Amino acid sequence: MPLVILIGASGSGKTTIARAIQRRYAEEVEVLYFDQIGVPPVEEMVAAYGSGEAWQHAKTLAWMAKLAQLARSGRRLLFEGQTRLSFLAEGASVAGGLAYYPILVDCDDETRSKRLAIERKQPELADENMMNWAQYLRSEARRGGCEIVNTSLLSLDEGVSYVMARLNQSPRSTAGPAPSTFA
């Protein structure tokens, strides 16, 4: 059961890659999205969990438990969403040692800003907070040995091929070799 998890900040290309895989490989790969659970306004996250980060932590653990159940089917799984690698690792441990292959989907800040402001028409997301979040995820990926796919110069087909190659490999946890960057 290969399980690949794509993480990244808004505008990185992770959802675009996941949707393309879902369209092209629906018979072979089950694709799930973090946001399928619904993302409440920040005020609701804070009221229920104390902070947006605590909400993200709780929901990541819940997703990892669900993914562990789905993994028993033997079907290849692709999960996409914005979360921290440390939350994934904790969730995998709590779920009984779920094996997975994490990939940070990333891009440079200029590309991210263009995608968010022009292509997605969400200029409010192309702010300093999003760029800082992307930098945090990059740093966490490098420290944790997570592969980083830089979509700044990749075609969609190249990104899809890269992820599909990982779906055809044996899963692993976040522990592993030094991170590699595909760009």
| pLDDT mean values, one per 10 residues, the chain (183 residues) | 89 96 95 89 91 93 94 92 94 92 95 92 88 94 94 95 88 43 47
pLDDT tens, residue by residue, 14-36: 999 999 999 999 999 999 999 88
pLDDT number for residue 170? 56
pLDDT number for residue 139? 95
Q: Are 143 and 102 in contact (CB under 8 A)?
A: no
pLDDT number for residue 41? 86
pLDDT number for residue 2? 82
Q: Which CATH architecture has domain 3-182?
A: 3-Layer(aba) Sandwich (3.40)
pLDDT number for residue 137? 95
pLDDT number for residue 155? 94
Per-domain residue ranges for the chain?
Answer: 3-182
Structure pTM? 0.89
